[in-house]
Amino acid sequence: MYRNASVTQSQEYITTVNQLTDQLPALQPETLSAASTLVQRRISESTDVIAVEEDKGLPIGVLAATELQLPLAVARWYTYEIDVEDEPQVEVEMDSEYYSGQLYLNGVTSGDSVTIVDDTISTGGTMTALIDAIREAGASVEGAHCLVEKRDNGGVERVEAETGVSVSTEVVIRADHDGVEVIE
């Protein structure tokens, strides 16, 4: 799928466009199932909650959470203007390849052991913000897993340097104006 992915310029970064991350073409059941299976192998039995960012990692997280019978916490780029005392919302700054602003996390509470699932790690901005939000909620990060790493953007290294969390990945790619190269 990545060998045939289209590429486009997204601010200063080259972005891949494919069925898994952008549903272009439509996300096929066998692709989603394979992605979920890869993610599930990385989720430890001590995980209480799976956390995803709403945009691109959500389909993978939904299927993995359903199959593992774990709650799913979703971080969003917007907030709800409601006051729910027993479900605190955590707000953190986020600066990623696609978005700069606030990230809002609900559904993670103090003492939870959380595994983060996402489709791609590029600059590490989304992952770093999710880790910050989980920790601010009083929970611990049990693991962080992305299916694809855009190696040249340094996200895995940034996350480890800034948070101490190692992000595991399945596929490593390099994207430029000529297309996508699968390097691992």
Q: Give 65-117 pLDDT, tens digit per residue.
A: 999 999 999 999 888 776 666 667 898 998 887 788 899 999 999 999 999 99
Q: Per-domain residue ranges for the chain?
A: 6-182
At 22-50, the pLDDT tens digits run: 889 999 999 999 999 999 999 999 999 99
High-pLDDT (> 90) share of the chain, % = 68
Determine the pLDDT at residue 1: 83
Determine the pLDDT at residue 122: 93
The alpha carbon of 31 is separated from its chain's Cα centroid by a whole number of angstroms, namely 17
Q: What is the mean pLDDT of residues 153-171?
A: 97
Q: How far apart are CA 92 and CA 132, in angstroms?
A: 7
Q: How far apart are CA 168 and CA 154, in angstroms?
A: 13
C-beta neighbour count of 142 within 10 angstroms:
21
* CB-count burial class (<10 Å; 0-12, 13-18, 19+) for 74: middle
Structure-token pair, residue 59: 């389909």
**CATH 3.30.70.360 fits domain 6-182:** no
Mean pLDDT of the chain: 92
